[in-house]
A = this chain, B = another copy of it.
Amino acid sequence: MSSLLARLRRRLQRRNLDALLVTQPENRRYLSGYRAADHGIGESAGVLLIPAVGKPFLLTDGRYQLQAREEAPEFEVRVYPRGLFPLLRRLFSSLAPRRLAFESHYLLHSVYLNLAKLAAEKGVELVPLTDLVEQLRQVKSAAELALIEEAVRLNEEVFSTVYRQMQPGISEQEVAWLLEETMRRRGAEGPSFPPIVAAGPNGAKPHAVPTSRPIAAGEPVIIDMGLKVDGYCSDMTRTVVLGRPDHRTLELIRLVRRAQLAGQKALRAGVSGSFVDRVARSVIVAAGHGDHFGHSLGHGVGLNVHEGPSLSYRHRKLLRPGMVVTVEPGVYLPGWGGIRLENMAVVTEAGCRVLNRDNTFLDV
């Protein structure tokens, strides 16, 4: 059995759980290797049922049977011709779990009602969990790091290809579209989130949606983009200027870059996410822009583009080697625009290894 499943099982046993039902698609893939994608939470490509002892099961419908057998050799694949619950009933009868954990953060209430009915019928106690597998996923293996590094490399290739094609007058939407098109043509699995292209005033919103407004020369343009390589995500932000930036833009880009460098320098195993956030934030606060940096410094990246750990005031746990996080300070001035710079880095014992090579932020 993989060491991963063994570690999961030790955690189940420690909590006195007899089995875990995995519904979150990235957790399902992480534990089993099965790569099918869900089309939204209502259209699942299958679930895992992992007993604390004995063979783990992958339950899916006939469409995915071959793929599941190929990709998840450690799992016994069972097909449900008439939906998940009749099959679960039979498995509950044979496995007889007393305490069954399920993923409360990825199960619809209406599906939970069916599960609760079956559990009551079979005398099974249900235990809602929210991040058991997600915690395992935070520290990346060498194979995972290689995929993430390839995603970052391809991300930079796509970014610089599109950046070279940008001229004043191109719209935010056209740039976003070029980014997605170039990702696919260069072999990415797809974007890890819809690209953000936000010029001038639109950049003051950290989650701006690209508009049809033409980009003017001289205004800052936030480009926040990510893609996937074999399931693993990249996430990168650059703020560029077409033509000559004005004094304020230059000054703020330098400020945000200083905050980012401070954060990257503070990032290492054994400190908390909140510590790293505080170090980078203090640079921006000292420049009088504390109120203009309204989000946390960073987040974990892996099979999900947003996952743990968080570099925020709420994250008190200590960072560990092999965690991958973004470092993305920003300054947002309502009515004027925004600046954000985002790199990805791997936490190491001695510090961190920044995965990005692109230095477009030094152009201006």
Q: Which residues of B contact A205 (CB under 8 A)?
A: 63
For A42, A109, A112, the residue with the greatest tally of chain B CB atoms inside 10 Å of its CB is A109
How many whole Å from A108's CB to the nearest CB in chain B?
6
In the complex, the answer to whether B110 meets A108 with C-beta atoms within 8 Å is no
Q: Which residues of B contact A106 (CB under 8 A)?
A: 108
Q: How many residues of A contact B (CB 8 A)?
A: 25
Q: Given A104-B113, A113-B128, is A184 in contact with B193 using a C-beta cutoff of 8 Å?
A: no
Q: Which residues of B contact A90 (CB under 8 A)?
A: none
Q: Report the Cα distance A184→B180, complex, angstroms.
A: 12
A5 at the interface (CB under 8 A from B): no
A207 at the interface (CB under 8 A from B): yes
Q: A110's contact among B130, B194, B207, by CB below 8 Å, is which?
A: B130
How many whole Å from A109's CB to the nearest CB in chain B?
5
Interface SS majority for chain A: mixed
Q: A63's contact among B39, B40, B110, B207, by CB below 8 Å, is which?
A: B207
Q: A104's contact among B110, B206, B207, by CB below 8 Å, is which?
A: B110
Q: Which residue of B lies closest to A294 (CB)?
A: B62
Q: Which residues of B contact A113 (CB under 8 A)?
A: 104, 128
A144 at the interface (CB under 8 A from B): no
Q: Which residues of B contact A108 (CB under 8 A)?
A: 104-109
Q: Which residues of B contact A318 (CB under 8 A)?
A: none
Instruction: Tell me the residues in window 93-119 of chain A with beta carbons closer than 8 Å to chain B beta carbons.
Output: 102, 104-110, 112-113
Q: Which residue of B lies closest to A45 (CB)?
A: B207
Q: Which 9 A-B pairs have the closest CB atoms?
A: A104-B110, A105-B110, A104-B109, A109-B112, A107-B109, A41-B41, A109-B109, A63-B207, A110-B130
Q: Please give 12 more A-B residue pairs, beta carbons under 8 A apart, in addition to A39-B193, A112-B112.
A: A39-B194, A40-B41, A41-B41, A42-B105, A63-B205, A104-B110, A105-B108, A107-B109, A109-B112, A110-B130, A113-B128, A181-B181
